[in-house]
Amino acid sequence: MAELWTNFTRLWKSARARIVFWAALTGLLIGVTGFAEPAEDALRNLRFWAQEKDASGDIVVVTIDNHTLEGLGAIDVNHGNDADVLTSLFKAGASRVFFDRPFAVPGSKEQDSKFVDTLKAHPGQVFLGAIPGGKGEAGNYASRLPLEKYREHAGVVSLLIYHAPFNLNVGMPLASDSPIGKIPSLSAAISGVDGSTNRLYFPDYSIRVRTFPALSYVDVLRGQFKSSVVKGKTVLIIPASAVFNDTQYIPGQRIDAPGGYLHAIGAETLRAGVPRELGWFPPWLMALIIIASGLQRGRVLDVYRFTGLVFILVAVPFLLDMIRMSVEVVPAFASALVAVIRMRNLDRVEVAGETNAGSGLPSVQALRNSEVLSPKILVALKIRNYGAIIGSFAEHVEAEFANEIVRRIRISDEPVAVYHEGGMFVWLSNIRSTFDLFENLEGLHRIVQNGIQVGGLDIDLSFNCGIDSEFDRPMASRIASAMQGAEEAVRNDELVYQNDNRKHEAQWEISLLTSLDRAIDNGEVWVAYQPKLDLKANRITGAEALVRWTHPERGPISPEKFIRIAEEFHRIERITRFVINDAVRTGVELQRMGHDLTISVNISAQLLRNPGLPGMISDILVEHGLPTDRLILEITETDRLDRSSRTFQMLQRLVRSGLRLSIDDFGTGNATIDYLRYLPASEVKIDKVFVSSMETNKEDLLLVQSIIDMAHSLDRTVVAEGVETATALEILKELHCDVIQGYFLSRPVPFRELLEQIAQPKVLKIG
């Protein structure tokens, strides 16, 4: 016992454990008190509405409606009418007839005699209703019974119903007490269920009222109905005229209907089995287990856990409804809500405490606590003589010193959050290339070597760095790896040390780069061409040149892979020269054969900063003799547009030389309205992400339409990439797109196959 108390005391000291306790207590109190019953009913009604279905058709409703009263010229039907209706129904083959009316008041002698004779003629086939007496009676007791002379020849059923708070739901008993003992409820009698007077159930109100077969009482009385409608069926006769004041709200269906339909829906429900009420405890307990399954920060009801719990509490009731079970989920929701609100508040308090007291920067512990996987390279920078520097000042200057370090880090890696712990500064770099990051850190080292002025004194310092690029590992593990790398760099007197398992991959990439040079020379690298179809002319008017590499051992190597490596190691110019040369030679060959096509080539953003690019392209065009306007350069620039930048000036030079520009992947990244307004491009290519999904996504369809209209208003030609279906092609035609390309027209193919497609084009029915 003492050990148990000790463990409890230790657990209670945890703020997170206390949050779990109060969250559990909140849900428990709501469940026990029934305080959430209206909310449960509202949720239940939403499920009814979402799962609406038709009645089986086995129960036929006969309504004593306005048409009946007008036809009889009366304010109510009499027992003689009831006798005639029963005779008409049984003659048509009805199996049983239930009245949603009390027969506690006699009619005329002649009418009663006729009614009793009819009941005698159909023993066990007619059931009359019983209701409360209305004299302050409470509970499940139907004291107002049909007259004894009727009961001798007819069954008696309870018409009691129970309205939930705010009339959001209506429950029914399976049976009721009465002066003659237990009597079944109307719905239980129809469905043949023998239940307890203590058992209350909620009908399945997803069964639509309007789908019950219905006849007017006066039409049955006059025999003006098809006998097939009631043959072999159970018939329920209900008051439906407004004069009877028996209109009820049907939960989940948002309509008012005669109260008898509640019994009809109840009977349909019970025919499939008596619904089971599992209550609030199982969902509450499940929520509590999920909440308490992790007590460390970031696990108690984190975003994923909370989203999963909400999904379960929403989806499970739907599934249980299908097997006639229901649960109450509001107490579970309440516990989860209390937990998530208080946990987030606690997290904010803890985050506020995760600040380095000396420097005022976020502490490395704040980064360790993050469980989010980051696709960024992690850098740990170690100041070798940090302690000696701080200790040499009489006043407190650590914050000023640390801020000077951070300011220099952000000169070329902006804006990064820098975390501080002792002599270590840690950050997630925005530089994606390891090669570029190494160059950046070398530049930072040169800047720092010039010294830093703090407190009026010049300080000489030195640093070493460790980096980690294993993006799939937890942050705490990556920090440890980067810090260990920094220590290793100090020991080995290296500026940067990469202490992870990506060294082998980096070696393979360097090897791949060497292989790429040989592959270009020996023909393993080749150019495929994907045709472009002019929708108005309905013919191929251009093609895009796409580089391919078929390795003799590894097979096809993804262009994304080797192009990324070529860009990372600044070798993209060799590939681009090869592709442009092949594309220009192809353009000349097509012209010689009488085909007037343009050839498009992708130009890397890296090359746009190379002043030798225009000369290289010009030399190739002159060498082969292709007119300048036959070559289109597709620009995939991802930097922010700046008209004063070298990139923008390069684009203007290319256009002035007669080349045509195309804005590739329009609609993604930074290739948006600014590019369309300022870049001297004659063509816009809509990214295939939007084209491929516009058939099913209205937002993407509207976006495609907007891009086309906007580009046309600026006198640009529009090309849609990624067209893979006839439907997509037809949509683009209707939107007045100019050109399409994609697998529906053709995959990228060798030059000889391109010639075949031009000579014998695929027949496309357009317009």
Whether 711 contacts 735, CB under 8 Å: no
Regarding predicted confidence, which is higher, 230 or 560? Answer: 230
The pLDDT value given to residue 762: 59
As a dihedral over the C-alpha atoms of residue 257, residue 259, residue 263, residue 264, rounded to 10 degrees, the angle is: -30
Of the pLDDT bands very low, low, confident and very high (cuts 50, 70, 90), residue 761 is low
The pLDDT value given to residue 46: 87
Whether 621 has a pLDDT exceeding 90, the answer reads yes
The pLDDT value given to residue 743: 85
Percentage above 70 pLDDT, the chain: 89
The pLDDT value given to residue 263: 96
Mean pLDDT, the chain, rounded, equals: 85
Report the C-alpha gap between 412 and 188 in whole angstroms: 79
Instruction: Supply φ then ψ for residue 637, to 5 degrees.
Output: -60, 135
The pLDDT value given to residue 47: 87
Count of C-beta atoms within a 10 Å radius of residue 30? 22
The pLDDT value given to residue 545: 95
CA distances from 766 to 308, 508, 535, 687, 734 (A): 47, 48, 8, 22, 10
The pLDDT value given to residue 501: 47
Percentage above 90 pLDDT, the chain: 42
Task: Give the pLDDT mean for 553-570.
Answer: 76
Task: Give the pLDDT mean for 258-283.
Answer: 91
Quick one: how far is CA 641 from the chain centroid?
A: 32
User: What are the tens digits of pLDDT across the range 596-605?
Assistant: 899 999 998 8
User: What are the tens digits of pLDDT across the range 384-404?
Assistant: 888 888 887 766 788 888 888
Quick one: how far is CA 606 from the chain centroid?
A: 36
Of the pLDDT bands very low, low, confident and very high (cuts 50, 70, 90), residue 693 is confident
Per-domain residue ranges of the chain = 13-36+280-351, 59-275, 364-500, 507-759
User: What are the tens digits of pLDDT across the range 164-181?
Assistant: 887 888 999 999 999 999
> Would you mind telling me the total number of residues written for the chain in this entry?
767
Of the pLDDT bands very low, low, confident and very high (cuts 50, 70, 90), residue 300 is very low
The pLDDT value given to residue 721: 93
User: What are the tens digits of pLDDT across the range 56-83?
Assistant: 999 999 999 999 999 999 999 999 999 9
Of the pLDDT bands very low, low, confident and very high (cuts 50, 70, 90), residue 297 is very low
> What kind of architecture, by CATH, is found in domain 364-500?
2-Layer Sandwich (3.30)
The pLDDT value given to residue 414: 77
Task: Give the pLDDT mean for 301-316.
Answer: 70
Amino acid at 150: Y
Of the pLDDT bands very low, low, confident and very high (cuts 50, 70, 90), residue 360 is confident
Whether 312 has a pLDDT exceeding 90, the answer reads no
The pLDDT value given to residue 767: 52
Q: Could you say which DSSP state residue 514 is in?
A: H
- Assign residue 634 a region (left: φ > 0; alpha: ψ between -120 and 50; beta: otherwise): beta
- Assign residue 594 a region (left: φ > 0; alpha: ψ between -120 and 50; beta: otherwise): left
The pLDDT value given to residue 642: 56
Whether 238 has a pLDDT exceeding 90, the answer reads yes
Q: What share of the chain is helix, strand, coil (3-state, %, to 5)?
A: 45, 20, 35
Whether 103 has a pLDDT exceeding 60, the answer reads yes
The pLDDT value given to residue 499: 66
Regarding predicted confidence, which is higher, 2 or 595? Answer: 595
Whether 614 has a pLDDT exceeding 90, the answer reads yes
Task: Please choose, from the candidates 294, 316, 490, 314, the residue with its C-alpha nearest in 3D space to the C-alpha of residue 386.
Answer: 490
Report the C-alpha gap between 43 and 519 in whole angstroms: 65
Highest mean pLDDT among 343-352, 366-375, 411-420, 621-630: 621-630
DSSP sequence for 690-728: HHHHTTT-HHHHHHHHHHHHHHHHTT-EEEE----SHHH
Of the pLDDT bands very low, low, confident and very high (cuts 50, 70, 90), residue 457 is confident
Regarding predicted confidence, which is higher, 429 or 344? Answer: 429
The two counts, helices (H) then strands (E), for the chain are: 28, 31
User: What are the tens digits of pLDDT across the range 465-504?
Assistant: 999 988 888 888 899 989 988 888 887 777 888 765 444 4
Report the C-alpha gap between 142 and 183 in whole angstroms: 9
CATH tag, 507-759:
3.20.20.450
Whether 372 has a pLDDT exceeding 90, the answer reads no
User: What are the tens digits of pLDDT across the range 706-757?
Assistant: 999 999 998 999 999 989 888 999 999 999 999 999 988 888 999 999 998 8
- Assign residue 722 a region (left: φ > 0; alpha: ψ between -120 and 50; beta: otherwise): left
Of the pLDDT bands very low, low, confident and very high (cuts 50, 70, 90), residue 434 is confident
Task: Give the pLDDT mean for 5-17.
Answer: 57
Of the pLDDT bands very low, low, confident and very high (cuts 50, 70, 90), residue 672 is low
